[in-house]
Amino acid sequence: MTPLDPAALRRRFPALARTGEGGRPVVYADAPGGSQVPLTVIDAIAGHLRSGISNTHGAFAASEETDALIADARRAAADVTGADPGEIVFGPNSTTLLLHLSRSFGRTLRPGDEVVVTTLDHDANVRPWVLAAEDAGATVRWVDIRDDDVTLDLDSFDAALSDRTRLVAFTLASNAVGTVPPAAELIERIHAAGALAAVDGVHVAQHRALDLHASGADIMACSPYKFFGPHLGVLSVRRELLETWTPYKLRPAPDDAPDRWETGTQNHEGLAGLIAAVDYLADVGRTYGSPDGGTRRDAVVAGFGAIGMHERELAARFLRGVAGIPEVRLWGIADEARLDERTPTFAVRVGDQDPLKTASELARRGIYVWDGHYYAITVMERLGLLDSGGAVRIGFCHYHSTEDVDRVLGALAELA
């Protein structure tokens, strides 16, 4: 495996050429909120619009091309999520798709059933299941976090499971503090309780390869705009569920999954961009990971292997640097020996400064970060941060360099 060359990769992303005051390059340290896209993705989206667009199932060439595009997009999404093309559902975003699916799941619940959610999750993988449980008269149980490192409390997890548990929703990586739970272990416990596992892969999809089948998950959500593609939502759902649950949609509804789960006209130009994003990840894999070939799925997995090695270096550098700024507090795993348990996403505060003020001061220095709760509402509330502005979220991905990390650390030191 060859080390990533972030300078070479950055040249493929037009937005990363943006400069701020004095012509200094901007640091997009807001990667958890959405990644930038390579030129090939931009060209694919524009190319689809330029070639002439049409809706589906028409008796002419442009419509047939749209049908073929959707089929190609399902194959691409399957390659990035480790699912089958027939287990892929497209929509505007993961939140909308989870709300849609959870309504159908709610029809399977009865009073006395239980649904389990966690305080670590983005609200998109909490509220849909809570609402479904409330509508059905089912009970909601919560899994707590550990105060010291903001990881899931496994004792709390086990205590939440029972023979009445029907579904457990948890994140594959926290979009707020970067925590990566032990997914395979948790899914094994969930299935042992006879329940379904619904995992939020939105944040982790930028950093690690997803695998619906290998993980054993039943439902997995992700968003291409987090892994260098356009704004879309993707659900990978075990085929049995897609075939047996009843979707809420207009008539006439196709009989075959996954088509019958998709509502309205899809974002076809976005699907073209999704294909290009997956091809980009495969190209990273062939260049830096496994140049000997294999399937596109193999290349995507190899690409994330190379991405992971580079991001470990970024995360270690940030953790070492922030530890040397006493006025900056970090929430989450700070131990370099535990980098496998986190992504390069960090929640911090500078002294008693309001997070919005910190984000504004960093923006003046050409560093773009997020402040607030980023819809990880429950974890911010649990940490006692929600009512005072949340935290400053700093997030890196594979196109960042160690110099970017040092620049962020230098700016934090100035503010401190």
Q: Stretch 194-206: mean pLDDT, rounded?
A: 98
Q: Which helix (H) or strand (E) holds 102?
A: helix 94-106
Q: Stretch 216-227: mean pLDDT, rounded?
A: 98
Least reliable range by pLDDT among 69-83, 151-165, 253-267, 294-308: 253-267
Residue 205 has a pLDDT of 98
Record the pTM: 0.96
Q: Stretch 377-403: mean pLDDT, rounded?
A: 97
Q: Stretch 140-162: mean pLDDT, rounded?
A: 98
| DSSP, res 173 | S
Contact 78, 92 (CB under 8 A): no
pLDDT digits (tens, 9 = 90+) for 171-181: 999 999 999 99
What does pLDDT average to over the chain?
A: 96
Least reliable range by pLDDT among 84-88, 260-264, 316-320, 350-354: 260-264
Is residue 117 helix, strand or coil? strand
First to last CA, the chain: 39
| DSSP, res 246 | P
* CATH architecture under which domain 43-277 falls: 3-Layer(aba) Sandwich (3.40)
Domain-by-domain residue ranges, the chain? 6-37+310-415, 43-277
Q: Pick one of 3.90.1150.10, 3.40.640.10, 3.40.50.620, 1.10.287.130 as the CATH number of 6-37+310-415.
A: 3.90.1150.10
Q: Which helix (H) or strand (E) holds 49?
A: helix 39-51
Bridging pattern class, strands 233-237 and 219-222? antiparallel
Contact 4, 305 (CB under 8 A): no
Binned at pLDDT 50, 70 and 90, residue 372 comes out as very high
Residue 252 has a pLDDT of 72
* Of 174, 106, 123, 165, nearest in space to 140 by CA: 165
Give yes or no on whether 6-37+310-415 and 43-277 have one common fold.
Answer: no
Residue 293 has a pLDDT of 67
DSSP letter for each residue of 323-391: HT-TTEEEES---GGGGGGB-SEEEEEETT--HHHHHHHHHHTTEE-EEE-TT-HHHHHHTT-GGGTBE
Q: Stretch 224-229: mean pLDDT, rounded?
A: 98
Q: What is the dihedral of CA 292, 294, 298, 300, to 10 degrees?
A: 70
Residue pointed to by tokens 């075990």: 238
Residue 267 has a pLDDT of 97
Q: Which two tokens stand for residue 306?
A: 């190379």
* Of 210, 224, 384, 222, nearest in space to 303 by CA: 210
pLDDT digits (tens, 9 = 90+) for 89-140: 999 999 999 999 999 999 999 999 999 999 999 999 999 999 999 999 999 9
Res. 9: pLDDT tops 90: yes
Residue 291 has a pLDDT of 64
pLDDT digits (tens, 9 = 90+) for 236-275: 999 999 999 999 988 877 777 798 999 999 999 999 999 9
